[in-house]
A and B are shown apart, each in its own frame.
Chain A
Amino acid sequence: MWLWYDWRAAAVADSNCNILDSEEWDGWHDTNAVCSRMDMIAHEALTPEAERLLERFPEAKPLIHGHDDLPDAAWPLPSQEALESLDKAAILLSKRGVDAAAGDPDRRLEHILKASDELRAAYVTIEGRLVEWVGLFLPEARFERDRSALAKNVVEADNLEGLAGTLDIGMPPEGPTDAEWDSLKDWAVSVREIKGRLDRMENVVRELATSHLPSLSALLGPILAARLCVEAHGRARLARLPAGTMQILGAEKAFFNHLKTGAPSPKHGHIFMHPWISRSPRWVRGKIARTVAAKASIAARCDAYGGEVWSQEAVDAVAARVEVIRSENSKPRQG
C-alpha cells in the first residue's frame, strides 16, 4: 500500500495501483500559503493531507511525488491553474532566499574586508606619494620613525615655510608655486580622509568578526579571523577545514607550486600575520604555525557549531605553548 503526496494533495493506493482515498488542499490560491508548504516539504515534513491519510491508513508508506519507489497510479496531480500558483510561489521563495542572503554574516564580512583591503592598498600608495613629494621640497625632513602626523602637519600649514617650521627644519632655496602647494595640500587632505575612513572600516570588520567568530577572534585577533573566514568562503566551510589547510590558507599559490614542482611547501598563509609567527625566528615559524593552526581550527569549530566561546585562559594556554616551542628551539637546527 502506497501513500503518495505532493505539495497540494495526498492519496493512498493499494498494491494494484487503485486509488483508495485522497485528500486535497484548496488553499493554493494564496501564494504565501504555498510558500509555507514548500518550506514544510523542503524540511522533509509531511503535509497535513498526508498526515490525515496516514491516520486512516497507518500501514501505508508515505512517499513524496517523484520518489523512485512509487508505482504509476492515477495520482491527483495539480491542475494547470494550481501549477501557475506554484510558479508564483517559486518566484516569491527565490526572492525571499535572495533577501535572506543579506543577513548572511559571511557575505557581509567578505565585502567589508575586501573593501578595507582595497582602501588600504590605495592609502599606502597615496601616502607614499605624499612623503616623497614633501621630501622633494624639504630634503632635510626625515620621517623614518613616524610619518603619521605628516598629513596633519601639511593640512595645517599655510605654506612650505610654515611646514618647515612645524617640522623644525630649514627652508631650501627652491620651493613650490602657490598652485603647486595647494595641490600638495589637497593631496594631504585626501590622505587624512582615507586614513580616517580606513580606520572606521577596520573597526567595523573587528566588530563583525568578534560577533561572528568570537573564539577565533580571541585567539588570532578579529582581522585575521575575518581574513581566514573569507578565504575559506564562509564560517561553515572554515570549520570543516583540517588544521593543515587552515595553516596554509592564503598561500595557495605556493602550495600548488609545491605540489606541481616539488618546491618547498609553504609553512604558513594568512596566519603568518599573527605576531606569534611573524615575530618568531624563521626556523620555528613552521612549528608554531602548525600548533596555532590546530588550535585555530578548534576555535573555528567552536564558533560554527555553537560551542563555548574561548576564554582568555584558553588563549593564554596557547600563548604559553608557543613560548615553549620558541624556547625549545632557540637555535636553528644544525645541518
Chain B
Amino acid sequence: MAKKRRLSWAVMIDGRSIWTLNAVPKRSQYGESLRKFRGEEYRRWDPTRSKLGAGLSRARNTQYELLPDEGDTCLYLGAGHGTSISHLHDHVCGANNEKGGRIIAVDLSPRCLRDLVHLSTLRPGLVPVLGDARKHAAWGIMVSNKVDWLLQDVSQAGQADIFIKAVKRFLKPGGKGLLSLKAASERFSEGGEREVFRQVRTQLEDAGLNIEEQIDLHGLEDNHCLYYVTN
C-alpha cells in the first residue's frame, strides 16, 4: 500500500493520486471518483483535468507551498467549468465555508459561468464573476482587498502581460501567484514551446517577480507550463 501524505487539512496524496476532503459529501463534481479514508469522504483530483492538480503532482520542491492557506482570499482568472475550483474550495473553504475562505472565480464565457453559478450555490465562499481577465475596470472592484493567492489560466495571447498586471493590481505583497501558460496561445516563435517558456520566464523576472518554481506539465497537460511566483 502506498504511503499517504498530507499537503493540508483537506488535501492528501496517496501514491500518485491527490485527494481532497469533499465539502459537498456524496457529490462528484465532474465525474471524479469518491473514496472514504477513515470515515471521511475524499474526491480524487484528476491531474489531467486541472492544471493546478497537474502542478501539484509535478512540483518538485514547492508541493507544500503551491496551495493557498485555508481561509485565504483567492482570485482565479479563467475559472472554466469549476473543476480546479471545486478542489480549491475543498481546501480553502471546506464544507459550508467553515474555514471562512473566499474564492473569486472570473471567467469570460457565460457557458462556464452557468456551471460556476450552480457550483456557488453548493459551495458558499465561491464568488463567480462574469468578466474579461484583462479588463479590471469592469470587475476589479469586486476584489475589495488584495488577495493572498492568484491563479491565472486563460488561453489568450499575451498571458504573461495579463498575469503581471493582475499580480500588480490584486496580489498582496508576499502573496503567491500561479501562471498556467499555454504555449499554443502565444505567437509562434522560433524554437517552439521551450523558447516561449524561456521568454515568459525572463518577462516575469523583469517584472520583479521571484520565480519559485517552473513546473512543466508535459504528459498531463501538453504545451503547458505552470509558473509559481511570489512578489
Footprint of B on A, CB under 8 Å? 6-7, 38, 41-42, 44, 64-66, 68, 77-78, 83, 86-87, 90-91, 93-95, 97-98, 100-101, 104
Contacts and interface: CB of A to CB of B under 8 A. Distances in A.
B30 interface: no
B117 A94 contact: yes
A98 B107 CA distance: 11
A98 B139 contact: no
B1 interface: no
B2 interface: no
Contact of A94 (B130, B141, B143, B170): B130
Given A68-B169, A93-B130, A100-B110, 17 more contacts: A41-B141, A42-B139, A44-B137, A64-B137, A66-B136, A77-B145, A83-B144, A87-B102, A91-B120, A91-B128, A94-B120, A97-B110, A97-B130, A98-B110, A98-B117, A98-B130, A104-B110
Contacts of A44: 137
Contacts of A91: 117, 120, 127-128
A83 B170 CA distance: 16
B181 to A, nearest CB: 23
* Secondary structure class of chain A's binding surface, majority of residues: helix
Given A38-B142, A86-B144, A90-B129, A97 B113 contact: yes
30 contacts: A6-B144, A7-B141, A38-B141, A41-B137, A41-B141, A42-B137, A64-B140, A64-B141, A66-B140, A66-B169, A83-B144, A86-B144, A87-B102, A90-B104, A90-B127, A91-B120, A91-B127, A91-B128, A93-B129, A94-B113, A94-B116, A94-B128, A94-B130, A95-B117, A97-B110, A97-B130, A98-B110, A98-B113, A98-B114, A101-B110
Question: How many B residues touch the partner, as a band?
Answer: 20 to 34
Contacts, number: 63
Contacts of A68: 168-169
Contacts of B157: none
Contacts of B168: 68
Count chain A CB atoms within 10 A of each CB in B104, B116, B117, B141 and give the residue with the most.
B141
A83 B127 CA distance: 11
Interface string B109-148: 0110110110010000001111000001111111111000
Contacts of B139: 42
B144 A90 contact: no
A91 B170 CA distance: 20
A90 B106 CA distance: 11
A83 B114 CA distance: 23
A82 B44 CA distance: 35
Closest 4 CB pairs of A and B: A101-B110, A97-B130, A42-B138, A94-B128
A65 B144 contact: yes
Contacts of A94: 113, 116-117, 120, 128-130
A33 to B, nearest CB: 15
Nearest to B115: A98
B27 to A, nearest CB: 19
B122 to A, nearest CB: 12
B126 to A, nearest CB: 9
